């Protein structure tokens, strides 16, 4: 039987981005890819991202996060999920901490968080990574504001030359006049697996509607179509600003709602502000992991 049986979890969301939070601090347990897929398959704990808290690794941090996608793969960053963890650690009676400011760590780096109001948090997502080998891409591009992909879609030949940015995970942003006019469930997987992305990529369709507002739809690698993706919103604002389409601050409107993204001058850190919601809490049934080896 899985050691995760009967463990408590929180089912949350950030603008509809489905998040499950699991606190494993104080134990040596790790979640396997098979266990993550089993958790995602249960409607009670279904997630786009599973945020697993472990004991801090770096002095001065509050927890180490491992982030799993629906397919069991790991991600370096999840902005909406990090906001949910910040709420859980500062408001939940079991996970709770009296501090309104936390420093969380992922394999992509340190993510400071700050409570803005009862359910709204700001996450410092750090500086974007813009060099081709940092994103990473499979070959050199001197300017990642527009890269070449090998995938050509007869039904959408205009989707070419995306911007590429990493916010702890790779993002490709296609600039379109109407983000709702494409079948992203059909298009997303094809671009996600384009050979130029050796670690796959999150695929975004971005419609700039003003100097301070972008409409965005996202296909997440390893998770699929999602109502919101915080790291994609950050990557898109950075890419739009680099192309002169917006300033360094904008509202990014996703199907689940708006995120305020600011690309700070000076240290180049990207700040993401948005809400969280607790849906319910529960425990994992032992039978859930019957097929997870």
Could you tell me the CATH number of the domain that includes residue 181?
A: 3.10.310.10
Cis peptide bond prior to 136, omega within 30° of 0 = yes
Tokens of 141: 């591009």
**Residue 192 sits in the same domain as residue 280:** no
**Residue 75 sits in the same domain as residue 43:** yes
C-alpha angle with apex 244: 189 to 214, nearest 5 degrees?
Answer: 50
Tokens of 101: 């400011």
pLDDT at 93: 55
**Residue 183 sits in the same domain as residue 106:** no
**Residue 99 sits in the same domain as residue 191:** no
The reply to whether 135 falls in a domain is no
**Residue 177 sits in the same domain as residue 78:** no
Q: How many domains does the chain contain in total?
A: 2
The reply to whether 88 falls in a domain is yes
Tokens of 264: 């700070």
**Residue 172 sits in the same domain as residue 83:** no
Closest C-alpha among 221, 257, 255, 218 to residue 236: 218
**Residue 25 sits in the same domain as residue 71:** yes
Please tell me which residue in 229, 234, 238, 245 is annotated as part of the active site: 229
Active site residue 234: no
Cβ 253 vs Cβ 218: under 8 Å: no
pLDDT per residue rounded down to tens, the chain (293 residues): 689 989 999 999 999 999 999 999 999 999 999 999 999 999 999 999 999 999 999 999 999 999 999 999 999 889 999 999 999 998 865 666 667 899 999 998 999 999 999 999 999 999 999 999 999 999 999 999 999 999 999 989 999 999 999 999 999 999 999 999 999 999 999 999 999 999 999 999 999 999 999 999 999 999 999 999 999 999 999 999 999 999 999 999 999 999 999 999 999 999 999 999 999 999 999 999 887 75
Domain hosting 210: range is 163-268
Q: How far is CA 52 from the centre of its chain?
A: 14
Active site residue 84: no
pLDDT at 291: 76
Please tell me which residue in 78, 135, 235, 238 is annotated as part of the active site: 78
**Residue 233 sits in the same domain as residue 280:** no
**Residue 103 sits in the same domain as residue 56:** yes
N-terminal to C-terminal alpha carbon distance within the chain: 9
**Residue 95 sits in the same domain as residue 22:** yes
The reply to whether 43 falls in a domain is yes
Cβ 251 vs Cβ 259: under 8 Å: yes
* 3-state SS, residue 79: helix
pLDDT at 98: 66
- Percentages of the chain per state (helix, strand, coil), in multiples of 5: 15, 35, 45
């Amino acid at each position: 039987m899985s050691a995760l049986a009967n463990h408590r979890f929180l089912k949350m969301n950030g603008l509809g981005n489905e998040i499950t939070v699991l606190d494993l601090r104080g134990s040596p347990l790790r979640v396997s890819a098979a266990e993550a897929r089993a958790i995602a398959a249960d409607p009670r704990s279904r997630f786009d991202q599973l945020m697993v808290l472990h004991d801090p690794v770096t002095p001065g941090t509050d927890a180490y996060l491992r982030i799993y996608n629906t397919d069991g793969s790991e991600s370096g960053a999840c902005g909406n999920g990090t906001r949910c963890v910040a709420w859980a650690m500062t408001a939940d009676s079991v996970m709770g901490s009296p501090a309104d400011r936390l420093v969380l760590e992922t394999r992509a780096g340190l993510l400071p968080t700050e409570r803005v109001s009862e359910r709204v948090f700001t996450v410092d997502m750090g500086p974007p990574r813009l060099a081709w080998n940092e994103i990473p891409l499979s070959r050199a591009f001197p300017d990642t504001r527009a890269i070449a992909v090998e995938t050509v879609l007869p039904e959408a030949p205009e989707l070419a030359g995306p911007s590429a940015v990493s916010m702890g995970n790779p993002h490709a942003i296609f600039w379109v006049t109407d983000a709702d006019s494409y079948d992203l469930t059909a298009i997303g997987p094809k671009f996600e697996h384009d050979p130029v992305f050796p670690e796959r990529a999150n695929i975004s369709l971005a419609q700039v509607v003003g100097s301070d507002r972008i409409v965005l739809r996202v296909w997440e690698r390893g998770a699929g179509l999602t109502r919101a993706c915080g790291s994609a919103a950050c990557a898109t604002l950075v890419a739009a600003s680099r192309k002169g389409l917006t300033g360094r601050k904008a509202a990014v409107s996703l199907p689940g709602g708006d995120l305020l993204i600011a690309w700070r001058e000076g240290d180049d850190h990207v700040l993401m502000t948005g809400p969280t919601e607790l849906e319910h809490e529960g425990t994992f049934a032992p039978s859930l992991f019957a097929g997870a080896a």
